[in-house]
Amino acid sequence: MKIISPGGEQAEMYRNRKGFFSYNVQAICDARLKIRDVVARWPGSVHDATIFSQSAIKNRLQNNPGALADSVLVADTENLFNESLIRTRNAVERCYGVWKRRFPILALGIRLNLVKVQYVIVATAVLHNMAVDENLLEPSLLNEEENQAIVAVNDIPVQQHPGNRNMQNNITRLNIINSHFAHMQ
């Protein structure tokens, strides 16, 4: 979720891989787009795998491996897994979209101190769930004028500073792309 630069020595920890400041939020939702679990405490630069490995939901899944799976035996388990993963990913992406349309502050950027940002994210998740429970209509897609305004606000160029660890990360990333993926075009 996009935020303003928190400033200070740790500000760069909040710069994500896309170049803007954010919290990396882990949310688990169901098919109705109800948020079942949300973790909103990690800076934008923290990898998803780290967030999951430190989450309470990981421990629950390890203690009850069947929590997310059916006990149905399937001949082609890999295909079933892939299809389930696609459907689940679509629901999660849709949930994030509806959540951000319901609460545009999440898409435009939260301009509060870091502690309050966490509260806003969790509070909007709770309010989103209340809207789902009450069967409130999903917010309509933004009209083109509103969409352009959001793009303009979010399209702030990333400034690279010599000695910035992001510059070295970008160089490393480009080297990996050029050496491993360039031949695939």
Q: For the segment 60-115, what is each residue's pLDDT rounded down to a tens digit? A: 888 876 555 443 444 456 666 667 667 667 888 899 999 999 999 999 999 999 99
Question: What is d(CA 136, CA 143) in angstroms, rounded to the nearest whole number?
Answer: 20
Residue 184 lies in a domain: no
In this structure, what are the phi and psi dihedrals at residue 9, rounded to the nearest 5 degrees? Answer: -65, -30
- Please, how many CA atoms are within 13 Å of residue 144, restricted to the half-sphere of its CB? 0
Q: What domain range includes position 69? A: 11-152
Mean local confidence (pLDDT), 119-129 = 97
Per-residue model confidence (pLDDT) at position 140: 75
Across the range 174-185, mean pLDDT stands at: 57
Report the distance separating Cα 116 and Cα 120, nearest Å: 6
Assigned domain for 30 exists: yes
Is 68 a domain residue? yes
> What span, in angstroms and rounded, lies between the C-alpha atoms of 107 and 98?
11
Q: Which helix (H) or strand (E) holds 39?
A: strand 35-43
Q: Is residue 130 scored above 70 in pLDDT?
A: yes
pLDDT at position 33: 93
Query: Considering the domain boundaries, does residue 170 fall inside one?
Result: no
Query: Is 16 a residue whose pLDDT tops 70?
Result: yes
Domain count, the chain: 1
Q: What percent of the chain has pLDDT over 70?
A: 64
Q: What is the CA radius of gyration of the chain?
A: 19
